[in-house]
Amino acid sequence: MSILKDKNILLGITAGIAAYKSASLVRLFIKAGANVKVVMTPASKDFVTPLTLSTLSKNEVFSSFVDETDDNQVWNNHVELGLWADLFVIAPATANTLAKMANGVCDNILLATYLSAKCPVYFAPAMDLDMYKHQSTKTSFSKLISFGNKMIPAGTGELASGLVGEGRMAEPETIINFIEKDILDQLPLRGKKVLITAGPTYESLDPVRFIGNHSSGKMGFEIAKASANLGAQVILVTGPTHQSITHDNVDLKPVISAEDMYNEVHNYFLDSDIAILSAAVADYRPKNVADQKIKKKDSTFTIELEKTKDILKSCGEIKDKQFLVGFALETNNELENAKGKLQSKNLDLIVLNSLQDKGAGFGVSTNKVTFITSGNDIVEHELKSKAEVASDLMQQILKQIDA
């Protein structure tokens, strides 16, 4: 999955012959899972039509401040466009537009949107060789880069004039790769390994029945997604669940029992930088597992249970460089019990949630948590979606790691 998935990308198109490549660029952004809107300079419509771009992007294309064909003349809000975008990519970027951007000239909707944008801005120059090498163009490049904009270098090849040299707009695939790499290189967990557990465990009674719990695994899967989106390589060890995840940075390891999860966790723990053990692991399992289905005979039935291995404690006992996070689902004396677990299992952070809080716990899409750090800091959060809780958790971990 591309890092561009679900990103809002605003594509700016200026009046250069390379504008014909913009259609392919839109298609590649869409293929990567991005949402795309297009803003054009009026002159760029001589090179590629708004109809083509709106069809490919499935969004209205903007090329003027008002729709002149509409008697009501509704204003196209460049400020909203700029705020909508997670990324603004100007490709092709002509010498004329680059000079205007560098000097704050604002005479069309693309330039007005650029001056309103709060997001990262990438520009892909496209012009003839002599224009590309001219000192005024170099000055535009330098000024724009000094403003924090990202330049996607032009390629070398045959130009529209017939000359051969620099100035050819980077190919759409090159532009996508440049942006993806730039984003990935800035992610705070780039190069880090994160181990996560999720879901319940099932402890067999016989070939048919098991002891389990109501965990859906959703919290752990959201944490895995949040970690991967921050650049981490994630090992997700999950018990039986209907949850799914598709991300290039997530390696899914399905298990069934607490013993399975213990073994799989210890396969990866020592090589991890961060371990977040959110699974609802069974504390006990049947001491004897029947080979055949247990028949219903008596009015009562007794099962002898034995303790399972404590995965979280075992990791706390051998941790070295790892940042270790545990979860505590409590029903009474919540804070006291969570603090005790934090200390006894040698954790860096524990996530407390209570079944007393409406909207928290198993089988729901929300959670209400409190973070307790090894320094005894207590950070309470309101009821949020589990995706938001996962994001809060990762920010808390980054804060403690960077402290």
Beta bridge partner(s), residue 75: 66
Domain 193-402 homologous superfamily, CATH: CoaB-like (3.40.50.10300)
Maximum Cα interatomic distance, the chain, rounded to a whole number of Å: 94
CA dihedral 53, 59, 61, 66 (to 10 degrees): 160
Position 113, amino acid: T
Residue 213: active-site member? yes
Backbone Cα Rg of the chain = 28
d(CA 66, CA 74): 6
109-116 vs 95-103: helix axis angle to the nearest 10?
A: 40
Residue 133: per-residue pLDDT: 92
Residue 69: per-residue pLDDT: 61
- Band (pLDDT 50/70/90 cuts) for residue 305 is very high
Domain 8-186 homologous superfamily, CATH: Flavin prenyltransferase-like (3.40.50.1950)
- What are the structural domain ranges in the chain? 8-186, 193-402
Q: Based on the number of CB atoms within 10 Å of its own CB, is 74 exposed (0-12), middle (13-18) or buried (19 or more)? A: exposed
Residue 402: per-residue pLDDT: 87
When mean pLDDT is compared across 126-135, 353-362, 364-373, the lowest value belongs to 353-362
DSSP type of residue 98 = H
Catalytic-labelled residue, pool 213, 263, 337, 346: 213
Average pLDDT of the segment spanning 155-182: 87
Residue 68: per-residue pLDDT: 61
Residue 241: per-residue pLDDT: 95
Q: What is the pLDDT of residues 32-50, one digit of tens each?
A: 999 999 999 999 999 999 9
Residue 129: per-residue pLDDT: 86
Of 193, 169, 199, which Cα lies nearest the Cα of 89? 169
CB atoms inside a 10 Å sphere around CB 295: 8
Of 371, 319, 322, 372, which Cα lies nearest the Cα of 343? 372
Q: What is the pLDDT of residues 59-73, one digit of tens each?
A: 999 998 876 666 566
Residue 71: per-residue pLDDT: 56
User: What's the mean pLDDT when you consider all of the chain?
Assistant: 92
Share of the chain above pLDDT 70, in %: 96
* Integer CA distances (angstroms), 326 to 30, 157, 315, 329, 373, in order: 38, 56, 10, 10, 11
Q: What is the pLDDT of residues 74-117, one digit of tens each?
A: 677 888 999 999 999 999 999 999 999 999 999 999 999 999 99
d(CA 122, CA 273): 32
Secondary structure of residue 8 in the 3-state scheme: strand
Same fold, 8-186 and 193-402: yes
